[in-house]
Amino acid sequence: MVYVFIESFSSISPIIVGFLAICLIAALQSTISAFLMTSGSMVARDLYRPYIDNNPSWKRELLVARLAMLLLSLAALYLATYFETSLILLGGLAISFGFQLFPVLLGMLWFPWITRGGAILGLITGLIFVTFAETFGHKLTGNSLPWGRWPLTIYSGLWGLFFNVIVCFLSSIFSSNDQIKNTEKSFHDFLNEHMGIHHSRKKVKSLAYVFF
């Protein structure tokens, strides 16, 4: 639609066409660069480093990140060209999937008792429930689920989070042991030691609570 809209200006003013095309490319560039950078670093730091090469050189890590970015760009182009319908379905899932990271954030910043295994298990549960509460899940199961899209008019993200939090909290309580507690304590001690707001900015914190 955007391309048609821009093209329709070509008979009136080529300058506006150029200007709008630049706007379109800038919008694409600014969005995709942040997401590709993040994905590339995640592949290099969280997949390549722990599972393939434990002590890679800086150049090698950079190369892996760049290759991951290239592959992801090609995959995105392939999806955008040949699977327009599934692109819309996946786009609808994206925000709900992102929302499932809430217990991970809680564990990272505030609740040291949330374990890594609990967070991962909760995340997987959340993703499954989000998928089954959306059109995508209904298409996958051949419309055989007993509920419709967004059951009880509650959005899929909240359904996912509900089950995610239950599984995450329960499995964190049952899977926690002394070794995990010590690892997490050292991480949270580090956070408490190096972070926290500066004394001169205490007023800003109170202001934030007023707005909240």
Partner 1 sequence: MDSRYWKNNPMGGPWTAVMILSFTLSYMGIVLSPTFTMWSYSVKSPRSFYFYQVWGSGAIIGIFLFIFVPLLGVGAHLLGANNLVNGNGFSINQLFPELI
Q: Which residue in the set 47, 109, 170, 173 belongs to the binding site for partner 1 (CB under 8 A)?
A: 109
Q: Examine residue 141 and tell whether it contacts partner 1 (CB under 8 A).
A: no
Establish if 101 lies at the interface with partner 1 (CB under 8 A). yes
Is residue 208 a contact point for partner 1 (CB under 8 A)?
yes
Q: Cα(48)–Cα(21) distance, rounded to whole angstroms?
A: 38
Alpha-carbon distance 190 to 176, whole Å? Answer: 20
Q: What is the rounded CA–CA span in Å between residue 112 and residue 188?
A: 7
14 binds partner 1 (CB under 8 A): no
Contact 115, 172 (CB under 8 A): yes
Q: For the segment 71-90, give every residue that binds partner 1 (CB under 8 A).
A: none
Among 9, 111, 113, 169, binds partner 1 (CB under 8 A): 9
Residue 8 found at the interface with partner 1 (CB under 8 A): yes
Q: What's the min distance (Å) between Cβ of 69 and partner 1?
A: 14
Which residues, in sequence order, are CB contacts of 135 under 8 Å at separation 6+? 89, 92, 149
By beta-carbon proximity to partner 1, the closer residue of 38 and 183 is: 38
For residue 38, give both structure tokens: 């993040």
Joined tokens for residue 24: 């379109």
Binding residue for partner 1, selected from 17, 41, 165, 176, defined by CB under 8 A:
41
Q: Does 10 bind partner 1 (CB under 8 A)?
A: no
DSSP sequence for 97-145: HHHTTHHHHHHHHT-TT--HHHHHHHHHHHHHHHHHTSHHHHHHTTS--
- What x/- string results for residues 177 through 206 when contact with partner 1 is judged by CB under 8 A? --------------x--xxxxx------x-
Q: How many residues bind partner 1 (CB under 8 A)?
A: 43
Q: Residue 153 or residue 179: which is nearer to partner 1 going by CB?
A: 153
Under the binding rule (CB under 8 A), the answer on residue 24 touching partner 1 is: no
Q: What's the rounded Cα separation, in Å, for the pair 78 and 96?
A: 24
User: 100 is written with which tokens?
Assistant: 């499932």
Contact call for residue 169 and partner 1 (CB under 8 A): no
